[in-house]
Structure 1
Amino acid sequence: MASSVNFAQNTYSGEVLNDLLTYTAQGNDTYKEGLIHIKSGIQFKYTIPTIQLGKVIQDNVPTPNSTHGAGAGTTGGLNQYTFTERYLEPQEFMVYLEFNPRDYEKYYKFAQPEGNLVFRDLDPKVQAKMLRLLMDRKNEYIGESIWCSAKGGSAAAKITAPEGCTTIGGENAGGPMKYFDGAIKRILANTATNATEVEKAGGQVIIAGTTELSTGASVEAALNAMWKKCPKQIRKKAGLVFVCGWDIWDLYDQYLSDKTVKYSDNTKVNEYRFKGKRIVPIVGIPEHTIVLGEFTTGMESNLWMGVDYANDAEVVKVERLQANSELYFFQMRMKMDVNIVRPAEIVAWTAYKNAE
């Protein structure tokens, strides 16, 4: 991985570069709410192993032998040790923007840089601040792509969306969501009838319902159905949360406020909880969709993101657009991928469906 970056002939250590990469991945609701684990430095492929054990408790005998167990990976149950793998394979894309440095003069004026205007002798931390302002415009793309991206675009995704709703693998304000598979594509691919062995690794996602959620009562019914289907062994996990969009939460919040007997009056927002578990409304998850699972920033999270620089020689570039221009361009090449880890421990309600 690159240890330095060149901003218009100003080379400095990778501290700010790493800060920028982290900010690029973390500047969205999914990370800010603590719902995803980020694995950086994946140049090509990262394996996420999943292990399933069979019946490991047996009769006590002086010398165990093969007659006391069915063997690893077999269907007998005893001594079963099944090792499956899911992968993060970050795909390349680029952030590109042209801008006039004078628009940000108040952020560097105090540093009194010498030489050509902004980037030649300017303190690296000030440069990072300026670039963060630019990166703010791309956070919406990353946040939505975590959930709604599909490798190859909407045609390759083959997912039917409810009328008027976000297209999986379509475009958002930042650009096309076509470079890697997001969480919804991973969930639906896992439950498809023609799912591959890699897509089925780690068990099958539990689909609690597929109807559209257009009223607060239907949201409450969906939350109840999801909780009842939630595997018992994960119900007490601290990181177990319901994730939905703001459209879903607004329906449910209004529904609770309209009740005659309630815990909050209409001047307050109702508690973001159901059955003691957090409800986390975020920007990015598609409409008519709720996902229940263990989502944290730690390695135990059921949702991972892999990120890396696209290459070592040309990670981030900020240079003058051309010799006679005052404009500069900002270019950042990076890689990203998203995957679920233990599908059997995820419960989903979504009106999005596989087309085939």
Structure 2
Amino acid sequence: MKATKTILSVLIVLLVGATFGSDIASAAGINPVAFVGGTGVLGLLIGGSLNGALPMAINITSVYAGEVLDTLLVRATTANELVDGGHIHMEPNIQKKFTIPRLKVGKMLQKRKEQPTEEDSKGDFNVTEKYLEPQDVMAFTTFNPRSFEKFWRPFQPTGNLVFRELPPEAQNKMLAEMAKVVNFELGNEFINGVKGDAEGEYFDGILTRISADGDVLTVDTAAAITEVNIITALKAVVAKIPKALKKANVKPKVKLFMSVTNAEMYDYVLTEKPYKGMDYTGMNPERFKGYKIVPLADWPDDVIVAAYANTEMDSNFWAGVDYVDDAEVIQIDKLTNAGEKYFFKMLLKADTNIVFGEDIVLWDGRAV
């Protein structure tokens, strides 16, 4: 008897949903077919869905079945790891060009002379320059606030039709996500960027500068890195580090940069050494002979760089920007006065460079 009553109850609910669903949906501004098939009780039972692929910058895919969590969940990404990790000096307020002066002093000691003359002068001061020339970069995308009006209630636009706009919560979430994605892209450009005329070629990244500098100390035996040779590769890189950078007061700021994949290889090698490393439940310290290993998500495989890198003026890695927070300043406004679309726009300038190539060691096994 109870089973019969349950079945009758379900049938009545389905009938009511089919009869009144269209009217309810129309009043709410939702496609009646989508309401009955995708969001009513019948839609829930048959697994209906509502997919919106919009002809603009916003693409929405939704299985709307009533109220949703009142926060947009966004996918986590890596950020600008060189900056966030404190591995590069940032020089702000560069609108056009910034000069990095480099001073090198020659040997000066000599035998004592009672009356030294001009000809006895030994040693010299060599001043050379490197430059930061921040290049213009833009992020720009458009959207229509009304694209949200048939989806989630917390993000439906408000106000009269002609002035309709997204709630502040939705705008803030989209702005924050845009800033995060731009920061992520800049992180890759700070490492691998190449200056050029084509789209996607903005400025030279740190690794591009290192590869092009003839003074950089390269390891001639470099090859693709595997678990078999990664210890050998690290030994070869450390062996080439200048003695001045091996002093106790300097060594903590000399870092070994490598890809996440190669850093994991090193960790597994240590783990598999009996009585030496951690077991498989833990991570080994990211260090090699006292030098800190820095795994970077955007760093290419088979490349190891040893460099004196920090946020101070004596860092060997430099970046120049117009303003440090340009990547977080976003303009939002109507695309045209008479139109319904809005735009997000961000302008920034950036460039990178290295200071002393002779103080950098490079293992590059990509071309081998």
Q: TM-score, normalised by structure 1?
A: 0.68
Matched, 1:235 2:246: yes
Partner of residue 202 from structure 2, selected from 168, 174, 179: 179
Change (3 A) 1:85 1:51: same
CA apart distance, 1:65: 2.3
Q: Structure 2 vs 1, CA of residues 261 and 209 (structure 1 numbering), >3 Å: closer, same or farther? A: farther
Partner of 1:28 in structure 2? Answer: 80
- 1:352 to partner: Cα distance: 4.4
Letter in 2 for 1:277: Y
Quote the residue 1:5 is aligned against.
Answer: none
In 2, the alpha carbon distance for the partners of 1:229 and 1:45 equals 33
Residue 188 of structure 1 pairs with residue 211 of structure 2: yes
Rounded Cα–Cα distance in structure 2 between residues aligned with 1:205 and 1:352: 17
State whether structure 2 residue 318 is matched by structure 1 residue 304: yes
CA 272–106 in structure 1, closer or farther in 2 if over 3 Å, else same: farther
Is 1:291 the counterpart of 2:302? The answer is no
- 1:63 deviates by 5.3
- Further displaced range: 281-290 or 207-216: 207-216
2:290 is matched with: 276
Equivalent residue for 2:216?
205
What is the aligned partner in structure 2 of residue 328 from structure 1? 342
Give the CA deviation at 1:213. 2.9
Does the 8 Å CA contact 2:225/2:365 hold for their aligned counterparts? no
Return 5+ residue gaps in structure 2 as ranges: 1-77
Distance 1:246 1:322, change over 3 A: same
CA distance in 2, matches of 1:143, 1:46: 21
TM-score (norm 2): 0.66
Q: Which structure has the higher relative contact order (CA within 8 Å, separation 6+)?
A: 1
Q: Distance in 1 between matches of 2:262 and 2:354?
A: 22
* Equivalent-residue separation in structure 2 for 1:253 and 1:153 (angstroms): 40
CA distance in 1, matches of 2:292, 2:145: 43
132, 135, 144: which one aligns with 1:91:
135
Q: State the secondary structure of the residue aligned to 2:219.
A: strand
Q: Secondary structure at the match of 1:216?
A: coil
1:43 to 91, 95, 102: 95
Of Structure 1 and Structure 2, the greater strand share is in 1
| SS of equivalent residue, structure 1 residue 270 | coil
Matches of 2:256 and 2:87, distance apart in 1:
10
User: Residue in 2 aligned with 1:341?
Assistant: 355
How many matched pairs?
277
CA deviation vs aligned residue, 1:237-291 (integer Å, no higher than 9, x gap): 1210101110111111111112223231110011100011110101222221111
For 2:338 and 2:142, the matched residues in 1 are separated by 15
Instruction: Compute the displacement of 1:106 (Å).
Output: 6.9
Report the equivalent of 1:255. 269
Aligned position for 1:169:
none
Q: In structure 2, give the amino acid aligned to 1:244.
A: M
Alignment deviations for residues 108-138 of structure 1 (CA, whole Å, 9 cap, x no partner): x9xxxxx966699x79xx9877633321112
Q: Is the 8 A contact 2:99 2:132 kept in 1?
A: yes
Name 1:143's counterpart in structure 2.
Answer: 187
What is residue 260 of structure 2 aligned with on the other side? 246
Residue 52 of structure 1 is matched in structure 2 by 104
Contact 2:222–2:233 (Cα < 8 Å) also in 1: no
Inter-CA distance 248–81: structure 2 relative to 1 (3 Å threshold): same
Q: Per-residue deviation at 1:317?
A: 2.8
Does the Cα contact within 8 Å between 1:45 and 1:87 map onto a contact in 2?
yes
Identify if the C-alpha distance between structure 1 residues 272 and 101 changes in structure 2 by more than 3 Å, giving closer, same or farther.
farther
Letter in 1 for 2:191: W
CA–CA separation in structure 2 for the residues paired with 1:177 and 1:299: 29
Task: State how far apart, in whole Å, the 2-side matches of 1:153 and 1:141 are.
Answer: 18
- Which of the residues 212, 218, 233 maps onto 1:222? 233
**Which residue identity is paired with 2:201?**
K
Deviations 1:214-252 (A, max 9, x none): 412311111100111110101131210101110111111
CA contact (8 A) 2:225 2:233 kept: no
Query: Structure 1: 5+ residue runs without aligned partners?
Result: 1-25, 70-77, 110-114, 155-175, 192-203
Greater Cα offset, 205-214 or 264-273: 205-214
**1:210–1:350 CA contact under 8 A, matched in 2:** no
Q: Percent identity, aligned pairs only?
A: 34
Indicate whether 1:267 and 2:267 are aligned. Answer: no
- Structure number with bigger Rg: 2
Q: Distance in 2 between matches of 1:106 and 1:94?
A: 30
Residues 210 and 188 (structure 1), Cα distance of their counterparts in 2 relative to 1, 3 Å cut: farther
CA-based RMSD of the aligned residues comes to 3.4
Q: 1:326 to 1:190 in 2, by over 3 A?
A: same
Q: 1:342 to 1:223 in 2, by over 3 A?
A: same
Query: Going by fraction, where is helix more abundant, 1 or 2?
Result: 2
273-282 or 344-353: bigger deviation: 344-353
Could you say what secondary structure the match of 2:228 adopts? helix
Question: What amino acid maps onto 2:141 in structure 1?
Answer: L
- Maintained 8 Å contact 1:145/1:177: no
Q: Which moved more, 1:322-331 or 1:289-298?
A: 322-331
Q: Distance in 2 between matches of 1:179 and 1:223?
A: 32
